[in-house]
Amino acid sequence: MEKNISEFREIIKEKRMIDSMLALLQWDLETQTPKGGYKLLSEMIGELSLKSYNLTTSKKILEVIESLKKYEAELDEVTKKEIELLEEEILKIKVIPAEEYKAYSELTAKAQGIWEVAREKNDFESFAPVLEEIFNFNKKFIQYRNLEGDIYSIILNDYEKGMSVEKLDSFFEELKNEIVPLLKDIKSRDREFSKKINFKVEKIEQKKFSEEILKYIGFNLDRGVLSESAHPFTLTVDKNDVRLTTRYFEELPFSSIYSTIHEGGHGIYEQNIADELKDTLLADGASMGIHESQSRFYENVIGRSREFWYGLLSKSKYKYSEIENLSLDEIYKAVNEVSPSLIRVEADELTYSLHIMVRYEIEKGILSGEYQIKDLPRIWNEKMEEYLGVVPETYSEGVLQDVHWSCGLIGYFPSYALGNVYSVQILRAMKKEINIEGALERGELKEIKKWLENKIHRHGKLKTPKELMVLVTGEELNPDYYIEYLKEKYRKIYD
């Protein structure tokens, strides 16, 4: 058995190594590759993905798994879980022909460059054929697996075990019924709190403040870095090398603040997965939804509270002078202003999930064949009008705004909505054990981070999202708390 285990560890190590290399190439692609470099880098990603595919589907790996399963009763919890996840992955990819797997990896790497240019030039037509190809590949890959049920539920379940179209439909339905009327009511009050925080701050100053905030919330900059990209994201090479990006708009200094806090939440999660899980397949978040719960927790649940700003401004050495002239109440209302906007990542907490609903319905429609790619700009605008009451004038502010589809992340968007729901459920559980407001006011975010580390981060992928939520909050995903939270919060802010 020991020999088999050491063989298994060797393979996992090699697999992790390839994943880290792919992550580094991806980092380069999204942060600094010049347009001229996209072609070669995409080919490199394709080549390396093929290596990963060959390793994962190799006869050797199957043999090692089989031999280990003979000792199942003696295996430790981590190895057992790794085998389970690996077998799921093998089932998923071994049905895909190697050349198609490579072609798809190259396509999605290349597509990011095409998307970036299309977004810059407001040119949907140049992106549409690539997008069509990406959706077709995804459909085909699912069909290869020969599973029962509709395609979108299968994709959702890949991102979030236990999730289905049925469950999401009922969540979004409830959200629509509760939030859309509240939103109309708020809009009729016509208050503009946020004008006060839209002053000019030079990029270099914003960068300084962003790094200070990261340290303040508990992201370790000795084991991580903050850079810049068109679309903020977090990427993990290893728990000791966690890379974040943000973006700076000189006239909107709070945009980078909240992007930074959001990615910081992801980064803190990655940095605090238990050391015992390092170099295993479990050194990762429990699911995309749980990952988003951590970023949204930092960004919204605590990051948009009065107490957070009180603590931050009294503790931080560096701050913008314009902020010092504002009262706490002015800051609080400004960062929580409800204003239906075109851009998802800039959206307030109340309207955010409505943006997700637009994307969710579009993905569902394309996968079922109801929608055609060429009609997306029109469909996008119609849905924005219906749910948010705003319509983009350009593709860049509409259907081309997100990087996800170009990366092949179809079915990812619902993770953001789930993350919101989880984050509020986690808040309820945390409140029972620690005085969150007090900790925030004293600027002691360590207490909060420790709690999250202990309850969520350290487990990595050892538990499913459902198991984790039951463990931490005593029940499965429950959207009622989230909807209640939004209603209570915004009724107060808007009297």
Residue numbers annotated as active site? 263
User: Among residues 295 and 351, whose Cβ is nearest to Zn ion?
Assistant: 295
Q: How far is the CB of 479 from Zn ion (least distance, A)?
A: 19
Site string for Zn ion, 210-229 (x = CB under 5 A): --------------------
User: Among residues 289 and 311, whose Cβ is nearest to Zn ion?
Assistant: 289
CA distance 131 to 151: 18
b/e per residue 358-397 (b: at least 16 CB within 10 A): bbbbbbbbbbeeebebeebbebbbebbeebbeeebeebbb
DSSP 264-320: HHHHHHHHTS-GGGTTSTT-S-S-HHHHHHHHHIIIIIITTSHHHHHHHHHH-S---
b/e per residue 315-330 (b: at least 16 CB within 10 A): eeeebbeebeebeeee
Q: How many residues are recorded in the chain?
A: 495
Q: How far is the CB of 112 from Zn ion (least distance, A)?
A: 17
User: Among residues 127 and 258, whose Cβ is nearest to Zn ion?
Assistant: 258
- What is the footprint of Zn ion within residues 292-351 (CB under 5 A)? 295
Q: How many residues bind Zn ion (CB under 5 A)?
A: 1
Q: How far is the CB of 200 from Zn ion (least distance, A)?
A: 27
Q: How far is the CB of 423 from Zn ion (least distance, A)?
A: 11
User: Among residues 42 and 272, whose Cβ is nearest to Zn ion?
Assistant: 272
Q: Is 202 exposed, middle or buried (0-12, 13-18, 19+ CB in 10 A)?
A: exposed
- What is the footprint of Zn ion within residues 281-300 (CB under 5 A)? 295
Half-sphere exposure of 178 (CA within 13 A, CB side): 20
Q: How far is the CB of 387 from Zn ion (least distance, A)?
A: 21
Residue nearest to Zn ion (CB): 295
Q: How far is the CB of 97 from Zn ion (least distance, A)?
A: 33
Tell me: does residue 423 bind Zn ion (CB under 5 A): no
Task: Find tokens 């409140």 and name the residue.
Answer: 431
Q: Is 100 exposed, middle or buried (0-12, 13-18, 19+ CB in 10 A)?
A: middle
**SS3 (DSSP) at 413:** coil
Task: Find tokens 């319905």 and name the residue.
Answer: 361
User: Among residues 172 and 298, whose Cβ is nearest to Zn ion?
Assistant: 298
- The 8-class DSSP code of residue 461 comes to T
Strands 241-246, 234-238: pairing is antiparallel
User: Among residues 101 and 233, whose Cβ is nearest to Zn ion?
Assistant: 233
Provide the terminal-to-terminal Cα distance of the chain, rounded to the nearest Å.
Answer: 66
Site string for Zn ion, 403-422 (x = CB under 5 A): --------------------
Report how far Cα 168 is from the mean position of its chain's Cα atoms.
17
Provide the binding-site residues for Zn ion, judged by CB under 5 A: 295
